[in-house]
Structure 1
Amino acid sequence: MPKAPPAITTRSMALAAFSTVVEWYDFTVYLYLATVLARVFYGGGGTSLAATLGGFAIAYLMRPLGAVVFGHVGDRYGRRRTLLLSMALMTGAMLATAMLPTHAAIGPAAGWLLLALRCVMAFAVGGEYTGVVAYLLEGARPNQRGLVTATAAAASEVGGLAAVGISALTVGAMSTAALDGWGWRIPFLVGAALAAVVWIARSAMDESPDWERARAEGTVPDNPLRTALTHHRAGIARGFAISALGSITYYVGITYVPAFLTTVGRLAETRALWLSTVAAVVVIAVTPLVGALSDRWGRRPVLVALALLAAVLPLTLFGWMAGGSAAEVTAGALLLAALAGGVSAVGAVATAEQFPGEGRLSGLAFGATTATAIFGGLTPLGAHLLTERTGWAPAPGAMIAVVALVVLPVLIRLPRPKTDG
């Protein structure tokens, strides 16, 4: 009988969770600086913000491709290897972004170069988050998987908090001329430095015990992608539904909010970013709580409750942010953040549990990451265009509500998770 693989050390688990800080910082800083980047790389004007958000949406479509490539590496050669490769690529992309020439220097080519590097970043992130979630799930005790895996979502929001905080400090401390001239580079340089530190620290991580078990038993799939598509189609579909709800609540309910508040004229850039900073703190507080509740009550009841809230609340909350009092603007942003944080917390573990250890990353690539590309990458642009063309401020909330109602039947029939090994 094969010897049981060693458990993941606390140090390796903590490092894996912490690394999502860097991942989400690097990726969301682009959205938090969207109005600044619109001027710097697209020359300002009425269509520049749409071009900036459109670039984010196009680049986001690279996430499933990255997830497939890195998922194959992780399922075939080990989780540790894929986590090292993805972080190395993220480090290079962030540093290159900080060095880019602007629209004032080279004209429209600046926007194309920014788009190219966003595609590289999205490709790397495609394999990063699913790799970390799988690693934490496989290293945790079965009765603590929700709480432990939720630390990835909580840590990612620490990265979002750092991104919005540093963006707010940078924007608030400079004149528009200095910000557009060179100050916008600071958040990207910070991200590159953080990514490099994590990449170095990751070299000492343990391998996942699930992958070591599969290797010892000779069950590592030769073609993880084919294995996932052949044997786990139902899990892929369920993972898609869960991630669709998590993605649209996060990207429309959190990261799009600063641009929304600025566009509808409620808050200036700096104040909108500071409000998003407080919202990030709310997500960090909510995430481990919801993860622990899912361990106690089950994934299905918690997800169903959150989906019902997502079907009802966002319409009202976006209406508050567009036309309510200052207190209603604040409450709207914070309640949306709490909702999104809750879905992200339980969604992370629930999607990973749809698959066995053999081929788990590839299954997540086809299901969860594809949904994120569609309902995460495209929805900020969709929300912006829908609001602009209809003049109806609650439109982003309606988008969330529709997705919640569509995926609700899938969540109601969600099966109980199985334990690997």
Structure 2
Amino acid sequence: MPTSDVSTPPVHVTESAARRRAIYAGVIGNFIEWYDFGLYGFFAVTISVLFFPASDPTAALLSTFAVFALGFLIRPLGAFVFGWIGDRIGRRASLLAAVILMSLSTVLLGLLPTYASIGVWATVLLVALRMFQGLSAGGEYAGATIYVVEHAPRGWRGRYGSLSPAAVGVGTATAAVVSLIVTSSLTEADLSSWGWRIPFLLSGPLGVIAIILRMRIEESPEFQAVRDSGQVESAPLAEGFRVAKKSMATVFGWNMLNGVSFYMLTGFTVAYMMKVSELTYTASLSALAVALLFYTCVSPFYGLCVDKLSRRQVAMFSSLGMAAFAPLAFFLLQQQTFASSLLALMGIAFFAAGVTSIVAVSMVDLFPARIRFSAGAVPYQISIAVFGGTAPYVATWLGGTSVELAPGYYLALISLIAASVAWFGFKGVDENTNAELIARSAEGVEQ
């Protein structure tokens, strides 16, 4: 008697219906994942008081950002685990497990007792839940992006890929708006007592919706072809290191900028605007929400450019543009006006959207389907962990030095490094010209 397999699609649907379901399931998963993950950064100040009591508020805030970084350091393990599931069992199984883990972890965080209630155990449990969130995030973005792009019609990979960063922008912006509504509607005492929990608890019903959608999707056509041909890899990551080291290094190098730019924007700028720009929490969070919605709107534009131009052209524009704008952005933030701060954030968001648009297609363009999830997700998440997870901490430390624009100079330096990676790593790589590269990888020829 046949046994049930979570990777087996429940029903057969037409190709167009399968694409629609793939888009919905991938987009909502990324939306929820970054709604959940973004909340921690937006409530950093509150969390620092409730879980890291200290006589020095800056020290407490730095401890909070250190735990923020810890959630990233576990991501490579999540990429390995969920990548193995995605390349061995199927994309569908991996995506379903990832969104369940993230939603459950976030709801539990919203129920967590504070330091005043259970002492140091509150901090320990907070760290544990952040690690589970990081484990889930390690497989979500790469997996959902790969799954959606694998459903794209020929010549549409960039546009399909742009849906992932757009969903991330909407999810993070929604977290900002919900946080803003909660904080502006409650007194400081109520916020610290119970109000901060509401945005985290909302992850529950959102997660249920995502789980239902992902239970109804079919396997991606490219992985199904791998399975049908009997080419499923038993150790996809090891095979990636054997035949695709250059591509993995390219993903790692490019994502330095992706991690620093996006997480400096979402995990650092609110606290920075409150301290340096002397804006209220409401004004700071409002500026970030607008910038994230702008990020969402320009992502499809970049997706179209990726399809119509070369990957390298879009990568060079966004990285060099970020390098030039980053110091100016922090100069604008120091002008202590809402308009200048908003302009600074929107500028960073504009170039960050271009950076992320390349991420979406590179993990498909650079690797054959049989190792794609593992070989793409692991270097992506290692880079995000090292550079993205530490971005708020590093930026906070640099912001306290005598060099006023130090955080901007750091972002500019990372941008220039990423530009050099793009120049060499994306040369000749696009949907139409990378057939030889993929063929060589399939034959086991080292890049």
TM-score past 0.5 threshold = yes
Residue 376 of structure 2 corresponds to which residue in structure 1?
Answer: 364
C-alpha separation in 1, matches of 2:187 and 2:221: 52
User: Where does 1:320-335 land on structure 2 (aligned, <5 Å)?
Assistant: 320-335=332-347
Give the Å deviation of 1:294. Answer: 0.9
Give the Å deviation of 1:21. Answer: 0.5
Give the Å deviation of 1:140. Answer: 0.3
User: Where does 1:95-244 land on structure 2 (aligned, <5 Å)?
Assistant: 95-244=107-256
Q: Return the match for 1:23 from 33, 55, 71.
A: 33
Q: Return the match for 1:13 from 23, 27, 37.
A: 23
Give the Å deviation of 1:128. Answer: 0.8
SS of residue paired to 2:155 = helix
Which letter maps to 1:73?
A: I
Give the Å deviation of 1:25. Answer: 0.3
Supply the RMSD in Å over aligned alpha carbons: 1.7
Residue 10 of structure 2 corresponds to which residue in structure 1?
Answer: none
Contact 2:288 2:342 in 1 (8 A): no
Contact 1:243 1:351 in 2 (8 A): no
C-alpha separation in 1, matches of 2:206 and 2:100: 11
Q: Return the match for 1:400 from 406, 411, 414.
A: 411
Give the Å deviation of 1:304. Answer: 0.5
C-alpha separation in 1, matches of 2:245 and 2:110: 41
Q: CA deviation digits over 1:362-404, x for unaligned, max 9?
A: 111332111111111111111101212x143322211111111
SS of residue paired to 1:323 = coil
Q: CA deviation digits over 1:226-257, x for unaligned, max 9?
A: 11111110110011112111111111134321
1:382 aligns with 2:397: no
User: Where does 1:301-380 land on structure 2 (aligned, <5 Å)?
Assistant: 301-380=313-392
Q: Return the match for 1:32 from 27, 31, 42.
A: 42
C-alpha separation in 2, matches of 1:380 and 1:192: 27
C-alpha separation in 1, matches of 2:337 and 2:230: 62
C-alpha separation in 2, matches of 1:238 and 1:46: 36
Q: Return the match for 2:51 from 33, 41, 44.
A: 41
The unaligned stretches of length 5 or more in structure 1 are none
Which letter maps to 2:341?
A: V
Contact 2:270 2:281 in 1 (8 A): yes
Residue 67 of structure 1 corresponds to which residue in structure 2?
Answer: 79
- Percent of counterpart pairs with the same letter? 31
SS of residue paired to 1:43 = coil
C-alpha separation in 1, matches of 2:173 and 2:339: 21
Q: CA deviation digits over 1:20-43, x for unaligned, max 9?
A: 110110111111111111112112
Contact 1:41 1:110 in 2 (8 A): yes
Contact 1:75 1:360 in 2 (8 A): yes
Residue 92 of structure 1 corresponds to which residue in structure 2?
Answer: 104
Instruction: Flag the 1:136–1:186 CA change in 2: closer, same or farther, 3 A.
Output: same
Give the Å deviation of 1:278. Answer: 0.7
1:411 aligns with 2:418: no
C-alpha separation in 1, matches of 2:399 and 2:373: 36
Q: CA deviation digits over 1:290-342, x for unaligned, max 9?
A: 11111101111010011111111111111110235442222112111222122
Contact 2:283 2:338 in 1 (8 A): no
Q: Name segments (4+ residues, structure 1) moved above 6 Å.
A: none
C-alpha separation in 1, matches of 2:42 and 2:360: 23
TM-score (norm 1): 0.95
Q: CA deviation digits over 1:130-171, x for unaligned, max 9?
A: 110110111102301001011011011110111000011111
